Structure 1
Amino acid sequence: MSASTSGGGPLSPQAAAALQEGIGLVFGRWTALQMAVENQWGGRDSRAKADQLAASVLSWFANSKGPFYYDDLEDMMFDSMSDSFNTEVEDGSAGEVAKKLLEMHEECLQNNFSSIEKLRNTRPQGNAVSQSRQIATEDDDSSDDDDEPSMVENEAARSEDMAVDEPKPSKPTPDADGWTTVPPRHGRGKN
C-alpha cells in the first residue's frame, strides 16, 4: 500500500499542537511500543526513545513538503522499533499506526481535530501492556486451551481502540501443494 496524502501546506501552530497530542495518544495505545518502554527493551532511556520517535514523526510531518507516503511512515516506525528497542513489529500494528497518523495529519491540515478529541475522550480500558500480560498469564495457567485469546489477538483488539477502520487482510491460505505465498514487505532492508 503506497497511498499518500497530499500535504496541503504547513500546519498552523494550533494544528501542529493538536497533531503532537494525537501522536502521543496513538502511541500511548500502541501495545508494541508501550511494552517496549515498560520492559525497557531500549535500555534505561526507553521512555526517551519513545518520546524521540513521537518527535521524529511530528518533525516528519512538519518539515516535509509532502506528499506523505504511508510506506515511508510505516518504515520509519518499523525501523525505529528495530533500532531503538531491538523489537521486530510483525503484527501489522506499525502499519495501522501509520494509517491513523496520516489520517490525523490530513484532518489537522483542515483544522479538523475530531479524531484527536475522540481519542482524548475515550481512554483505553486499563493499560494495554497489563492487559497483554494478563492474557499471557491466563494462557500460561491454562492447559494449552485453544479457546484462550492470544497476545496477537489482543493486539488486534487494542488496534480497534485506535479506531482504524481498514479491513484486515485475509490470511494467506496454502495452495494444493501446501505452499503459502507471502506478500512482500515494501521498503524493508532498503537504505
Structure 2
Amino acid sequence: MSSTENKQQARFELGVAMALREWDVLTTAVVNQWGGSESADKRDWMAGAVVDLFFESSEIDAELVEARLLQVMEDEFDVVVEDESAYEVSKLIMDMYSGVQSSDFSTVDRLYQKFLDREGCELKVDVKVQEDAEIDEELSGSDEEAPALVGSQNEQQQSTGPIVDEDGFTLVQSRK
C-alpha cells in the first residue's frame, strides 16, 4: 500500500468513526449503555465493521452500509432503528469514501473538528425506555398501595388547603 493509500484509508476510518459519533440514535445507545458497560467499545468496533465492508466487497452502496448499521444496532444494542437516520449516516459514509478516494478530506476534517470542539462539552442525554412488561404493568394497574400524598392533620390544619386522609378522601371541615 502506498503512502497516499495509507493516508486515504486512515482518513476514511477516522471519518466513519466521526460519522457514527454524529448519529444521535447510536450516541443515545452508548450514553445510556444499552450495549452494556462496553457500549463505547461496541461503537468503535462498529466503525471497524463498516470500514471492513469497503474491503470485503467491490459492490458497495448506501443500502449495504445501512444494513450493516441496522444489524449492529439490533445485535449489539438491542435497538431497532425505525427512522431514516441509518440511511442518512450510510449516505454520509459513502460520500466520505468517494471524497477520500480523490484525496478530498474536507468532510472528514469538518466532522473531526466538530468532534474536537464538542469534546470539552459534557453530553447529557436523558431517555427513558420502557420494556414491554413495564408497559403491560402500567396498563393493568399496580397492586402496590399509593404513597400518602399529605402530612399529618396538624400540618394540614396549619395550611389553608383541604384536609386529605390516608385513603385520599377530602375531609369536610366546618367554616370555623
CA distance in 1, matches of 2:69, 2:122: 19
Structure 1 residues 128 and 109 mapped into 2: Cα distance closer, same or farther (>3 Å)?
Answer: farther
Counterpart pick for 1:46 among 36, 39, 44: 39
Counterpart pick for 1:55 among 48, 54, 60: 48
Structure 1 residue 45 displacement after superposition: 1.6
Give me the identity figure in percent: 27
CA distance in 2, matches of 1:121, 1:100: 16
CA distance in 2, matches of 1:94, 1:46: 18
Q: Which residue of structure 1 aligns with residue 171 of structure 2?
A: none
The answer (yes or no) to whether the contact 1:23–1:101 under 8 Å persists in 2 is yes
CA deviation profile, 1:130-154 (whole Å, cap 9, x unmatched): 3x53xx79xxxxxxxxxxxxxxxxx
Per chain length, whose mean CA-contact separation is higher, i.e. which structure has more relative contact order (CA < 8 Å, sep 6+)? 1
Q: Which residue of structure 2 aligns with residue 97 of structure 1?
A: 89
Structure 1 residues 103 and 46 mapped into 2: Cα distance closer, same or farther (>3 Å)?
Answer: same
SS at match of 1:12: helix
- The aligned length equals 123
Structure whose CA Rg is larger: 2
Q: Which residue of structure 1 aligns with residue 9 of structure 2?
A: 16
Where does 1:143-182 land on structure 2 (aligned, <5 Å)?
none
CA distance in 2, matches of 1:23, 1:34: 14
Structure 1 residues 15 and 97 mapped into 2: Cα distance closer, same or farther (>3 Å)?
Answer: same
CA distance in 2, matches of 1:90, 1:119: 25
Q: Which residue of structure 2 aligns with residue 78 of structure 1?
A: 70
CA distance in 1, matches of 2:118, 2:39: 23
CA distance in 2, matches of 1:54, 1:122: 18
Q: Which residue of structure 2 aligns with residue 112 of structure 1?
A: 104
Q: Which runs of 5 or more structure 1 residues have no equivalent in the other structure? A: 1-10, 138-191
Return the TM-score normalized by structure 2. 0.63
CA distance in 1, matches of 2:73, 2:110: 26
Q: Which runs of 5 or more structure 2 residues have no equivalent in the other structure? A: 129-176
Q: Which residue of structure 2 aligns with residue 37 of structure 1?
A: 30
Bigger drift between 118-127 and 90-99 goes to 118-127
